Amino acid sequence: MAGKYVHQSILRLEDPELITGNVQFLDDIELPGMLHAAFKRSDYAHARIKSIDVSEARKLPGVIGVYTAEDFGDYIKPGPLQVPPPTAIKGATYVARTTMPIAKDKVRFAGEPVAIVIAESRYIAEDACDLIYVDYEPLEAVVDLEKALQPGSPLVHEDLPSNEAGHVRQERGSWEEAVKEADLVIKRKFFINRNAGAAMENRGIIVQWDKHAKQMTIWCGTQSVIALRNQTAARLGLFESQVRVITPNTGGGFGPKINTSLPDDVLITYLAMKLDRPIKWVEDRRENFLATTSERDQVHYCELAVKRDGTIVGLKDFFYHNTGAYNPYMMTVPLNSQTHTVTNYRVPNFLTEFYVVFTNQMIVTPVRGAGRQYGVFVMERMLDAAARELGMSPVEIRRKNLLPANAYPYYTSIIGQDFVEGVLDSGDYPTSFQKTLELIEYDKFVNEVQPKLRAQGKKVGIGVACFSEGTGVGPYEGARVTVGGNGKVVVTTGYTSQGQAHYTTFAQIVADQLGVDVKDVKVITGDTGYFGWGAGTFASRGITVAGTATHLAAQKVRQKALKLASKILEAPEEELELADGVVRVADIPSKFISLGDLANLANPMRGTMEPGAEPGLEAVAYYGPPYGATGAGAVGLIIEVDPETMQVSLEKMAFVHDCGTPVNPMVVDGQIHGGIQMGIGDAFYEELIYDENGQLVTASFMDYLFPQATDMPKKLVLGHMETPSPLNPLGIKGVGEAGAIPIPSVFVQAVENALQETGVEFDRDTLSPSRIFTYVQQAKGA
């Protein structure tokens, strides 16, 4: 669906201010009398706190207060669940051990706060942290995912019988029957590890309490202003309307910024009230690595039952999922992994089961991709293994099993993170796969290029992988569209932005409906003072859910404008059009009224109004889909491995995706680009490595390898598919996470292909030069 603006690559409206430094990010905000916070964090992953001595810290000039758990009394308790438990799934079990705002008696991960200092400057606050002495009794740390569930393992939460945090089992058909029907059952074990969100701007918060107005203002680059407002109000006994949460410009989100009721917001809201001074806390990079949230490891035991011709008859997957020390985000990540193993190919029978496990590590919550890539990785790896054992090509086995173009709506028989059975609404997976093969020139590479290069001794390889992405899930988002007396339009929404171009894309949607210049539409996101309803920025749902709500609100305003103009211009509504900022009679362009004048007339100051009429050229709309829209695509990759160093050079990547209607194709490409980079990090550079004591040994950019410009593919070709979603009027599906999802799958396949003669087979999603070397040595029997 295309309009004057929708489906056009217009340049971003927010850029001129953003690129000249004329905007405010959180740490740019200075308030009179503002104090600064710093946290004293645990050096141990698992230890009992015997005592904390804060006396010296309190004496330091400039220190206002030093607080440990006991100073907060009953205020300190585990926070609320951020996501409901999976009660919609039959037989699912879970326990909730949610985030402690500050450690009491025991620390459960290295980096967990044990004290907070409030001081006149951040420098002084950090000095004071060094003067806090904690006496710990170290305990054995729970680090290994599988050992954590063995009898006799130390317990992260000693009130529980084991480290098990939950269990989910979902099935379709019969795995036993599939085994009987199959010619071959392939078994593999996979290790998956995942990266940090690592947004360039770390987290932070500023809290101001106005004791006269009894009003709290919070500035925070959160991905959910509504959750932050509601949980703060509930904790402090305030009305939601007494708490205003404002998101300043935010330097990336990628998942971890969705969390609320973390130590900073819980403690700093309380202390800002108590001390009657504004307080700022800005996370540093080390704290971000140690103690924000991230994703982590899974271990999968998978079996694939196939016919001799490669047809899948069934899949059985059993996996463990690391949830870290607490599980406020419940099962979103493992549920995404579970659903995405079986939602791209025809899998008539499946049995998939997982255990969630507590460990002495940082809390696990979604990072771009949110577990989907693990599910995709497992299935793609199983197909590679099956192709290898059946003597088929990776292309052939995928073609054989991809859901056909006429499969939609396709009922997946599996309940996902939105707690409804998954339905693939639309798509054409075989065509996007075919397009990918053409763009990467698969046949030419395999038949001509590769043999030639191999003859020269070059280790070049190719891979192909497919993926789907459940996006745009419920519950709902909302928007208000208001035409001002100046004829310009304001859109407000509770949705939050971290760089996704909503200030442009939402404006494009509105400008098309109201016939105004897109530059005359101002979008305000993530400020509860303007709009107080919504869920948050997650699951690639911005343009799909909040964008659709914006579209519906603009349509309502359009109807209002037409109705009022019809009376004033004395012409039937169907003869009117909205264009150039006016409503005019289509055939008589001189007969018009401007939107600004209409807006004023829609808000009469004297006289009467029709019963039931609502004032203003303004409307609010909400949109909540019955289930998410599913995007999809495929990727091809050509790489070269240096046999001396095992460094992998990415020669060419072709990426085809389908997000239905792209509201702004330029922005869509940008989202794919960023996802690809994160996927490359995931596959070859980034890794949160914990040692046997639960210490994160990659807690700086010196050790945690952030993908740089020289690590990106030398050539990238994007391909586009547009199968509109029937779920919303613009036909949109989400795309924010797509790029990140299939990269580890394609990367390991391509490296395997390059090193074909060694017979190496990878069973993990994160490689590195030394890992490749080790695998090759093992394959050689060395």
Partner 1 sequence: MAQTVKINVTVNGKQYEREVEPRLLLSDFIRHDLGLTGTHVGCEHGLCGACTVLMDGEAVRSCTIFAVQADGHEIQTVESLGTPDNLHPIQQAFIEKHALQCGFCTPGFLMTLVDYLGDNPNPTEEEIREAIDGNFCRCTGYFNIIEAVKLAAQKMASH
Q: What is the dihedral of CA 73, 74, 79, 80, to 10 degrees?
A: -160
438 contacts 416 by C-beta, under 8 angstroms: no
**Number of Cβ atoms within 10 Å of the Cβ of 172:** 18
> Biggest alpha carbon distance in the chain?
92
- Nearer to partner 1 by C-beta: 147 or 673? 673
Angle between helices 502-514 and 547-569 (to 10 degrees): 30
Closer residue to partner 1 in complex, CB, 42/664: 664
Q: Select 241 or 708, whichever has its Cβ closest to partner 1.
A: 708
d(CA 755, CA 775): 11
Residue 205 Cβ, how far from partner 1 at the closest point, in Å? Answer: 16
The DSSP line for 192-218 is E-------SS--EEEEEEETTTTEEEE
Per the omega criterion (within 30 degrees of 0), is the bond before 409 cis? Answer: yes
Among the listed residues 1, 3, 8, 18, the single contact to partner 1 using CB under 8 A: 18
Q: Give the shortest CB-251-to-partner 1 separation in angstroms.
A: 3
Write the binding mask 98 to 137 for partner 1: x where contact by CB under 8 A, - elsewhere.
-------------------------x--------------
How far apart, in Å, are the Cα atoms of 781 and each of 187, 527, 545, 749, 758? 21, 60, 53, 21, 10
The residues pairing with 232 across neighbouring beta strands, listed in sequence order, are none
Q: What share of the chain is helix, strand, coil (3-state, %, to 5)?
A: 30, 25, 40
Scanning 336-344, 453-461, 618-626, 665-673 for contacts with partner 1 by CB under 8 A, the matching segment is: 665-673
Single out the segment in contact with partner 1 by CB under 8 A; choices: 16-24, 70-78, 107-115, 152-160: 16-24
Residues 497-526 that bind partner 1 (CB under 8 A): 498-501
Which residue, 16 or 451, has its beta carbon nearer to partner 1?
Answer: 16
- For 613, phi then psi, to 5°, come to -70, 145
**Is the CB of residue 736 less than 8 Å from the CB of residue 676?**
no
The DSSP bridge partners found for residue 721 are 658
Is 249 a residue that touches partner 1 (CB under 8 A)?
yes
Minimal distance, residue 672 CB to partner 1, in Å:
8
Contact region with partner 1 (CB under 8 A), list: 234-242, 676-684, 751-759, 773-781: 676-684
Tell whether residue 455 is a contact of partner 1 (CB under 8 A): no
The interface mask with partner 1, positions 573-612, x = CB under 8 A, is: ----------------------------------------
Instruction: Kindly state whether residue 753 participates in binding partner 1, applying the rule CB under 8 A.
Output: no
Q: What's the closest the beta carbon of residue 718 comes to partner 1, in angstroms?
A: 9
Least distance from partner 1 to the Cβ atom of residue 19, Å: 5
Q: Using CB under 8 A, pick the residue from 245, 304, 678, 727 that binds partner 1.
A: 678
Among residues 414, 543, 667, 738, which is the contact residue for partner 1, using CB under 8 A?
667
* Out of 28, 56, 137, 210, the residue judged to bind partner 1 by CB under 8 A: 28
Q: How many angstroms separate the CA atoms of 123 and 24, rounded?
A: 22
Member of 6, 27, 541, 582 binding partner 1 (CB under 8 A): 27
Q: Are 33 and 120 in contact (CB under 8 A)?
A: no
* CB 545 to partner 1: min, Å: 20
C-alpha 469/C-alpha 740 separation (Å) is 10
Cβ-based nearer residue to partner 1, 252 or 463: 252
Among left, alpha and beta (phi > 0; psi -120 to 50; other), residue 306 is: beta
Residue 663, judged by CB atoms within 10 A of its CB (0-12, 13-18, 19+), counts as: buried
The binder of partner 1 chosen from 136, 175, 209, 254 (CB under 8 A) = 254
- Considering the rule CB under 8 A, would residue 717 count as an interface residue with partner 1? no
Query: Which residue's CB is nearer to partner 1, number 241 or number 647?
Result: 647
Q: Which of 37, 347, 676, 754 binds partner 1 (CB under 8 A)?
A: 676
Look up residue 453 and give its amino acid. Answer: L
By beta-carbon proximity to partner 1, the closer residue of 20 and 590 is: 20
Our finding on whether 697 is near partner 1 (CB under 8 A) is: no
Distance of CA 27 to the CA centre of its chain: 23
Contacting residues for 179 by C-beta, under 8 A, at least 6 apart: 185, 305, 314
Q: Is position 702 an interface residue for partner 1 (rule: CB under 8 A)?
A: yes
Quote the tokens at residue 673. Answer: 């680009």
- Site residues for partner 1, 184-243, by CB under 8 A, read 198-202
CA distance 344 to 108: 38
Q: Which of 344, 633, 636, 648 is nearest to 463 (CA)?
A: 636
Range in contact with partner 1 (rule: CB under 8 A) among 168-176, 439-447, 493-501, 563-571: 493-501
Give CA–CA dist 584/565, Å, rounded.
8
CA dihedral (245, 248, 253, 259) in degrees, to 10, reads: -20
The one segment of 151-159, 435-443, 495-503, 614-622 that binds partner 1 by CB under 8 A = 495-503
User: Could you give the count of Cα atoms lying within 13 Å of 468 in the half-sphere of its Cβ?
Assistant: 30
Which tokens belong to 569?
């211009």
The residue from 456, 590, 608, 710 that contacts partner 1 (CB under 8 A) is 710
The only residue of 250, 322, 630, 766 in contact with partner 1, by rule CB under 8 A? 250
12 or 584, CB closer to partner 1?
12
Stretch that binds partner 1, among 81-89, 440-448, 706-714, 763-771 (CB under 8 A): 706-714
Judged by CB under 8 A, the chain residues 265 through 284 that form the site for partner 1 are: 284
The two structure tokens encoding residue 301: 């035991």
Strands 582-585 and 576-579: antiparallel
Our finding on whether 32 is near partner 1 (CB under 8 A) is no
Is 674 near partner 1 (CB under 8 A)?
yes
In the bound complex, what is the minimum distance in angstroms from residue 723's beta carbon to partner 1?
24
Binding site for partner 1 (CB under 8 A): 11-12, 14-25, 27-28, 30, 61, 123, 198-202, 249-252, 254, 284-285, 498-501, 666-667, 669-670, 673-678, 700-702, 706, 708-710, 712, 716, 739
